[in-house]
């Protein structure tokens, strides 16, 4: 067989769950509740559904390779030029394009312990060295991350809020960090859960691009916009960075349905507002459950709550599964005593709570 590059051999494949209907059959259950992948429980935006139906007849054509309309919309929203935007097949694609564009084998990429798994993955895939900096209170220790920069460091990934811990960095913390990082290092600020952060606390990160040409901000349509299955995300950066990323990007990396859906959902302000509201209420519901039952949890700014169950965490995970409740073990993130529970609709959260009370 062909030999993979040295980085690939060290990789563990991304652990996604089984298809829901398969799991349901296996467990002999009539109904399952999936709270495992930080998806939007609200259902598809009706405006998106209508637009997708109309788009079907165009599927014999290739998508617009440059995503003209979506980029124009995003540029207007973020008050940047369309040339500063790079579209991706989900923001994972953007993260991978960034690593492949800027990092060579043997160079270094810094990320935090317990941070999103795709950072080590894209780093190792190109044979670069991943430097995982120990977490502070489950979140990023930005001082230690800045101190870990060497001549070989090319990129730093910062997730805000972070997955799977839900931890959040303030505007001041990020600005201090950006001031410390030398300009030869690209800082990727991954804001996949940005829309869930209360408005007054959101960092005006895209406005900072003028002052920090080494900053890249990534966002996604998978979470609050409810389009995880379509795969659409984007990066906002300097035009120079976007131009380089564009050389690596596959020409048709975002398909026609995704482009259309993303364009339409950006205008569906009611949907976004409702998604954020459902999340706030569901978060309150789960937090209250934890407080009543005496479970420690990591306070979260995302659409999920990571709860500590001690050494019984995997046992609880299995028992929940047999009750038809799918949550996410986070042992792969060095959090073997925790489970991550995505916020669902009120009745889905209640189903989790009822199953927990039954398991005892
Ligand atoms: N960043 C973070 C922190 C995430 O949690 C996720 C989704 N799990 C992503 C990026 C990627 O999401 P997508 O590729 O669906 O945009």
147-171 tens-digit pLDDT: 999 999 999 999 999 999 999 999 9
Structural element, H or E, at residue 52: helix 46-55
pLDDT of residue 22: 81
Residue 120 pLDDT level (bands cut at 50, 70, 90) = very high
CA of 39 relative to ligand 1 center, distance in Å = 10
Local confidence band at 276 (pLDDT 50, 70, 90 cut-offs): very high
232 CA closest ligand 1 atom index: 16
- CA gap 177, 339 in Å, rounded: 30
Query: How many whole angstroms separate alpha carbon 277 and alpha carbon 273?
Result: 6
- Mean pLDDT of all residues belonging to the chain: 95
Q: Is the pLDDT of residue 218 over 90?
A: yes
Which one, of 225, 229, 222, lies nearest residue 274 by Cα?
225
Mean pLDDT of the 329-352 span? 97
Protein residue with its CA nearest to atom 1 in ligand 1: 192
The ligand 1 atom nearest the CA atom of 161 = 3
Could you give the angle at which helices 346-359 and 269-293 cross, rounded to 10 degrees? Answer: 20
Q: Which residues contact 343 (CB under 8 A, 6 or more apart)?
A: 35, 41, 278, 279, 282, 283, 286, 303, 304, 305, 349
What is the β-pairing status of strands 233-236 and 338-342? unpaired
The CA-to-CA distance between both ends of the chain, in Å, stands at 50
- Residue showing tokens 């409702």: 274
Token pair, residue 317, equals 């995970």
CA of 359 to the centre of ligand 1 (A): 31
Which of 308-330 are b and which e, b meaning 16 or more Cβ less than 10 Å from the residue's Cβ?
Answer: ebeeebeebbebbbebbbbbbbb
pLDDT at 108: 98
**Which residues does 141 contact at the CB level (< 8 Å), separation at least 6?**
112, 133, 134, 135
- pLDDT, residue 20, reads 79
Total H helices, total E strands in the chain: 13, 13
Protein residues whose CB sits closer than 6 Å to any atom of ligand 1: 38, 90-92, 116, 159, 163, 190, 192, 220, 222, 228, 233
Q: In testing the pocket of ligand 1, which one of 222, 305, 343 has its CB within 8 Å of the most ligand atoms?
A: 222
Q: Which domains does the chain have, with CATH numbers?
A: 6-43+270-359 (3.90.1150.10), 56-266 (3.40.640.10)
Contacts of 330 (CB under 8 A, 6+ apart): 164, 306, 336, 338, 339, 340
pLDDT in tens, 180-200: 999 999 999 999 999 999 999
Model confidence at 1, pLDDT cuts 50, 70, 90, reads low
Cα of 37 to ligand 1 centre, how many Å? 10
Tell which atom from ligand 1 comes closest to the C-alpha of 115. 3
What distance in angstroms lies between residue 31's CA and the mean position of ligand 1's atoms? 27
Of 33, 49, 11, which is closest to residue 226 (Cα–Cα)?
49
Relative to the CA of 228, which ligand 1 atom is closest? Answer: 15
CA 231–ligand 1 middle distance (angstroms): 10
Instruction: Give me the residue label for tokens 């829309």.
Output: 195
Q: pLDDT confidence of 17, banded at 50, 70, 90?
A: low
Per-residue CA distances from 296 to 239, 260, 305 (Å): 44, 42, 11
Position in ligand 1 atom list of the atom nearest CA 221? 16
Can you list the positions of beta strands (E) in 5-70? Answer: 33-34
Indicate which atom in ligand 1 lies nearest the CA of residue 91: 16
pLDDT score of 24: 81
CA diameter of the chain: 57
């Amino acid at each position: 067989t062909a030999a993979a590059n040295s980085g690939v051999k060290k990789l563990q494949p991304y652990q996604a769950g089984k298809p829901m209907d398969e799991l349901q059959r296996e467990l002999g259950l009539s109904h399952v509740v999936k709270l495992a992948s930080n998806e939007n429980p609200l259902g598809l935006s009706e405006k998106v559904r209508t637009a997708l139906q109309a788009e079907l007849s165009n599927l014999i054509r290739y998508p617009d390779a440059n995503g003209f309309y979506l980029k124009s919309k995003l540029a207007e929203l973020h008050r940047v030029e369309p040339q500063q935007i790079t579209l991706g097949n989900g923001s994972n694609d953007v993260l991978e394009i960034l690593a492949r564009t800027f990092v060579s084998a043997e160079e270094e990429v810094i990320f935090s312990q317990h941070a999103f798994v795709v950072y080590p993955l894209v780093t190792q895939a190109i044979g670069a060295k991943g430097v995982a900096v120990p977490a502070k209170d489950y979140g990023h220790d930005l001082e230690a991350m800045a101190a870990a920069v060497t001549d070989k460091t090319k990129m730093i990934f910062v997730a805000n809020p972070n997955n799977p811990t839900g931890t959040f960095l303030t505007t001041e913390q990020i600005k201090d960090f950006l001031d410390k990082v030398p300009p030869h290092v690209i800082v990727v600020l991954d804001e996949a859960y940005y829309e869930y952060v209360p408005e007054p606390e959101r960092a005006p990160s895209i406005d900072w691009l003028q002052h920090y040409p080494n900053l890249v901000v990534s966002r996604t349509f998978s979470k609050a916009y409810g389009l995880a299955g379509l795969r659409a995300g984007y990066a906002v950066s300097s035009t120079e960075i976007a131009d380089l990323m564009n050389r690596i990007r596959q020409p048709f990396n975002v398909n026609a349905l995704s482009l259309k859906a993303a364009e339409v959902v950006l205008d569906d302000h009611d949907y976004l507002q409702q998604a954020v509201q459902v999340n706030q209420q569901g978060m309150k519901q789960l937090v209250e459950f934890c407080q009543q039952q005496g479970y420690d949890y990591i306070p979260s700014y995302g659409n999920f709550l990571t709860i500590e169950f001690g050494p019984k965490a995997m046992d609880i995970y299995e028992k929940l599964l047999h009750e038809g409740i799918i949550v996410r073990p986070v042992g792969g993130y060095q959090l073997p005593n925790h489970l991550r529970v995505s916020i669902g609709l009120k009745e889905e959260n209640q189903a989790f709570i009822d199953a927990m009370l039954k398991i005892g």
